[in-house]
Amino acid sequence: MSAAPGGPGKHPTKQLMLLGVAQAVLFVAGALLGRWVGLLLGLDAFGPGGYTNNAIFGILLIGLGGGGGAQLARAWYIRKYGNPRS
């Protein structure tokens, strides 16, 4: 866990940018994974039928995948560099 010379709990801008990029990349990857899992299960979020139960659950899987990816990136950052909020 390294901190910037500015004081305790301060993270350099480069490290915070790494966190942002990692969260963005894993958010997209998680959302795509959720989409693919939904398609495998027959839950098409963008299907032609409108907001059916299958579409709603497909949207839910995309959201859970994206959120999970962002949280995974944040957990990696905290484990490597420490909590940026403390």
3-state SS string for the chain: CCCCCCCCCCCCHHHHHHHHHHHHHHHHHHHHHHHHHHHHCCCCCCCCCCCCHHHHHHHHHHHHHHHHHHHHHHHHHHHHHCCCCC
Which pLDDT tens digit goes with each residue over 2-50?
Answer: 544 555 568 889 999 999 999 999 999 999 999 999 999 999 999 888 8
- Report pTM: 0.82
Average pLDDT of the residues in 46-63: 93
